[in-house]
Amino acid sequence: MIIAQEILTETLIAEMLPLGQACFDESTLIKKDTCAYYGERSFAVEPDVERYKALCKSGRMVLLTLRKETLKGYLIGFTYQSLHHRKILCASVDSIYIQPEYRSYTAVLCEKFEQAMDDLYVEIIGWPTHIDGPVYQVLKARGYVGDDVIMEKRLGPR
């Protein structure tokens, strides 16, 4: 198994899209009626590829891949300067997905991500995850704590 930090390319985007959809579909089953879409989550993932590319080009994206011949998983996060504490560099995880048969590598992928962020002098990593999701227990075991709860309200379809 190979875990590597990669640059976002068109080829990698094409590899990631099916996994991104699988991630969304799985989270739909986990969240059910506990998110603002109240079960109306059966739609295609349509990432803003240009914005992802811009973040990658700016050096603010960390993208790790998990490969065994082909892509088996990924983790994407971004750095940002805290608005509340201007001297603190923070990171936020955007997305993680590992195919179920390779989830034993989740902790290792998280560790590599933390190291990549530490190398960038990040002090705080925020990691949105659902309490019933497959990553929650891994994060708890790695020392993450629940700080805030994100409350959602859907204002209506657009």
Tens digit of each residue's pLDDT (9 = 90 or more) over 101-146: 999 999 999 999 999 999 999 999 999 888 888 899 999 999 999 8
Task: Inform me whether the pLDDT recorded for 75 exceeds 90.
Answer: yes
SS3 121: coil
Q: How far apart are CA 65 and CA 113, in angstroms?
A: 10
pLDDT of residue 148: 81
Q: Please, what is the end-to-end C-alpha distance for the chain in angstroms?
A: 42
Q: How far is CA 150 from the centre of its chain?
A: 16
According to DSSP, the β-strands at 70-81 and 89-98 are: antiparallel
pTM here?
A: 0.89
Among the residues of the chain, which ranges form H helices? 10-31, 49-57, 106-119, 136-141
pLDDT of residue 5: 97
For residue 154 the two structure tokens come to: 């859907």
97-79-3 Cα angle (round to 5) = 40
Query: pLDDT tens digits, residue range 1-33?
Result: 999 999 999 999 999 999 998 988 887 766 667
Mean pLDDT, rounded, for 36-47: 73
Task: Inform me whether the pLDDT recorded for 86 exceeds 90.
Answer: yes
Q: Give domain 2-141's CATH superfamily.
A: Gcn5-related N-acetyltransferase (GNAT) (3.40.630.30)
The domain segmentation of the chain, as residue ranges, is: 2-141
